[in-house]
Amino acid sequence: MKIQVATIFPEMFSGLDIGILGKAQQKGLIEVNAVNIRDYTTDKHHKTDDTPFGGGAGMVMTPQPLHDTINALDPEHKVRRIYMSPKGKTLNQSMVERLAKEQSLLLVCGSYEGIDERIIELDIDEEVSIGDYVLTGGELPAMVLINAVSRYVEGVLGSSESTSEESFSDGLLEYPQYTRPKSFCGLDVPDVLLSGNHKDIKEWRYRKQLEITKERRPDLYYALFPDSDPLTENKKKGKNKSAKKDGKE
Ligand code: ADE
């Protein structure tokens, strides 16, 4: 998968050269190319921002350098173009899975008070937020998106790190994990996990998923089980029920 990024801070993306994503880039499974918007400005002082029409605090990124960067990177608009913005749709796992199916993405990072609205109208397919808080720019959100999407690219994760049994893959939060030693600071690993009984382990894990999701994310829990609560009314039926995916994009 090829991911191009338009940013005024391309050096920030060297953070993706380490760990799992670093390896994936070395293997050619993903390619991340961060391009400096400033290289495309026609302003003699290399400016990429200006004061907002109508007044107000902060600076707004001017349209020309953004427009030229985006259209140099994707001249025929063949690539899904995403503007990272707190006003966008909030990123969730189903959105990640959808975006991971694209061959190529172009992520546009704004800074300051945002970008000129005409760029969104002219050049952007979709605005994506990573949560209800405001950061100083779209670079960290773009890296979050790249990280989340890359995990779905074939070969990036080893089979032991697969995406199929983790939080959100079935719409529920993940069950707790334990490893050696069996006892640590007076806390023991639950007996069932040492029992070797795979059916009991599966049931215990599913129940933990239900309990944790109900407690921490009742929004997810009641969206999955609108009519009956598998932890109370419906214990037997709910036990092995495979939960639906979070399709709430
Ligand atoms: N830019 C600034 N804050 C952001 C956020 N929460 N999500 C995406 N882009 C942003």
- Report, as an integer, the average pLDDT of 200-227: 97
**pLDDT per residue as tens digits for the range 24-66:** 999 999 999 999 999 999 999 999 999 999 999 999 999 999 9
- Look up residue 72 and give its two tokens: 């140099």
Confidence of residue 235 (pLDDT cuts 50, 70, 90): very low
pTM here is: 0.91
pLDDT digits 0-9 by tens, 140-182: 999 999 999 999 999 999 876 678 767 787 889 999 999 999 9
**Closest residue by CA, ligand 1 atom 2:** 135
The mean pLDDT value for 216-230 works out to: 96
Q: How buried is 46 (Cβ within 10 angstroms: 0-12 exposed, 13-18 middle, 19+ buried)? A: exposed
- Residue 76 and residue 104: Cα distance in Å, rounded? 13
Residue 69: Cβ within 10 Å count: 27
Residue from 61, 83, 129, 147 whose mutation best tests the ligand 1 pocket (most atoms within 8 A of CB): 129
| Residue whose CA is at the smallest distance from ligand 1 atom 10 | 85
Q: Which residues form the pocket of ligand 1, taking CB atoms under 6 Å from any ligand atom? A: 84-86, 129-131, 133-135, 138, 141
pLDDT band at residue 245 under the 50/70/90 scheme? very low
Q: Where are the alpha helices (DSSP H) in the chain?
A: 19-26, 63-73, 93-100, 117-123, 139-150, 198-216, 218-224, 235-239
| 96 CA → ligand 1 middle, Å | 16
Question: What domains are defined for the chain?
Answer: 2-150 (3.40.1280.10), 183-245 (no CATH)
- To which residue do tokens 């063949």 refer? 78
SS3 32: strand
CB 19 within 8 A of CB 161: no
Site to probe by mutation for ligand 1, drawn from 83, 85, 133, 144 as the one with most ligand atoms within 8 Å of Cβ, is: 85
**Calpha distance 71→66 (Å, rounded):** 8
pLDDT of residue 241: 45
| Closest-lying ligand 1 atom to the alpha carbon of residue 134 | 3
Average pLDDT, the chain: 93
